[in-house]
């Protein structure tokens, strides 16, 4: 999504050729019109797939997931909650996720009543890097007896194993911007044309 | 907002005549179409006021704030972050907020660059009860040298001091649903007609 790549070039901040901060439009301040267009684009990429429900994780996935749900015609969204400790409660699906960014483990949970069985689920998140968060959400969907139809993210770092891990496990991944490297603290994007050939 | 009152009656769960859980459409699962209509209604209530920016607080305020921002014609949203400890950083506005629900203090912070001076700010949140969170956001807006033009919430509990405290401090409050009591674990709503007379 060229508009997004341009916005990342303009407003993103790369720290130590490693961390991309997009606080100006996605993770702290939100640009509502851009969010809406990103939701429309993710909905378009999955227009060939029946989706019953969107699953995301707090905090920064929520606005994107809502935008996708509206573009898909008002399907329900449920966001997993992050907690520090593994507190397994009977009425929740629970899994443990390791955050490489924060270097700590957290618990992701969704109430059973908001994750029914036999549904087609689209997982939405802001970033895809290690794939740990997406794999955690996939496990919650599996626990519920539903099927992950795909993963849609705003920004992926293709130099980290997220996409490869998910695709090898048989999952479809769509990203609005794919960063293959950081050079001199600038993001280098893989065009979607190239990405699809690899 | 009658649609919201009916939805609360139908899907809300009241615990011990004290706590209202609206996880089915606002705090865990989201109903995108209802969110959009709630955003439109809050925008309509503040249509007579110039608003430059919406300030909210993670997590459950984010989707509502985004909906209001779209209805107002794409104004920026910034959400305050909650942290456990008071970690004052130079590039952030920081304040301490006591959560009566969780019975603990947390820190709300917003980066200085996303909260400029001399703006008219609309504060949006999901619930108004004690008013502590709204007052915390008002303090951040004050630190920035901007003006809080009003507070808009989805659900207020008028039997708690939030509205009275904010109005006595000179702030305008608009709520989409006002609960004056819980009786037999059912919410009793104050109609907006009555509310405006008092």
Distance CA B165, CA A15 (A): 43
* B22 lies within 8 A of chain A by CB: no
Nearest by CB to residue B66, choosing from A32, A81, A114, is A32
Q: pTM score, two decimals?
A: 0.95
Answer whether A30 sits within 8 Å of B74, measured CB to CB. no
Q: Sign of torsion, CA B21 B26 B31 B37?
A: positive
In this prediction, the answer to ipTM > 0.90 reads yes
- Is B131 assigned a ligand-binding role in the annotation? yes
Answer whether B29 sits within 8 Å of A66, measured CB to CB.
Answer: no
pLDDT digits (tens, 9 = 90+) for B76-99: 999 999 987 666 677 999 999 998
Q: What is the pLDDT of residues B128-149, one digit of tens each?
A: 999 999 999 999 999 999 999 9
Supply φ then ψ for residue B189, to 5 degrees: -95, 145
Q: Do A63 and B59 touch (CB under 8 A)?
A: no
Closest CA to A130 of A89, A166, A95: A166
Interface of B with A in 91-120 (CB under 8 A): 110-111, 113-114
CA distance A91 to B155: 26
Q: How many CA atoms lie within 13 A of A106 on its CB side?
A: 17
In degrees rounded to 5, what are phi and psi of residue B147?
-120, 130
The DSSP element (H or E) to which B149 belongs, if any, is strand B147-157
Domains recognised in chain A with CATH numbers? 2-197 (3.40.50.2020)
Report CA A109 to chain centroid distance, whole Å: 16
Alpha carbon distance A174, A67 (integer Å) = 16
A28 contact B CB<8A: yes
Does the structure show a pLDDT above 50 at A197?
no
Query: Could you tell me whether strands A13-15 and B120-128 are parallel, antiparallel, or unpaired per DSSP bridges?
Result: unpaired
Chain B positions touching A35 (Cβ under 8 A) are 66
Q: Write the Ramachandran bin of B130: left for phi over 0, alpha for psi from -120 to 50, otherwise beta.
A: alpha
What's the pLDDT at A88?
Answer: 60
Query: Average pLDDT of A77-85?
Result: 89
CA-nearest residue to B33 within chain A is: A74
Tell me whether residues B69 and A29 touch, CB distance under 8 A.
no
Question: Residues of B with CB below 8 A from A76's CB?
Answer: 29-32
């Amino acid at each position: 999504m060229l508009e997004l790549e341009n916005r990342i070039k303009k407003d993103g901040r790369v720290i130590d050729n490693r961390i991309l901060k997009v606080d100006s439009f996605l993770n702290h301040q939100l640009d509502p019109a851009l969010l809406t267009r990103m939701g429309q684009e993710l909905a378009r990429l999955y227009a060939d797939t029946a989706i019953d429900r969107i699953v995301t994780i707090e905090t920064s996935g929520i606005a994107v997931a809502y935008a996708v749900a509206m573009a898909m015609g008002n399907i329900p969204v449920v966001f997993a909650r992050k907690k520090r400790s593994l507190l397994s409660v009977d009425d929740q699906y629970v899994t443990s996720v390791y955050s490489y960014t924060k270097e700590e483990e957290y618990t992701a949970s969704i109430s059973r009543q908001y994750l029914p069985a036999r549904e087609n689920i689209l997982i939405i998140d802001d970033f895809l890097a290690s794939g740990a968060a997406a794999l955690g959400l996939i496990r919650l969907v599996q626990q519920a007896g539903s099927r992950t139809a795909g993963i849609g993210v705003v920004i992926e770092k293709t130099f980290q194993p997220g996409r490869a891990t998910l695709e090898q496990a048989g999952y479809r991944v769509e990203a609005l911007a794919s960063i293959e490297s950081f050079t001199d603290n600038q993001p280098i994007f893989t065009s979607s044309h190239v990405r699809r050939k690899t």
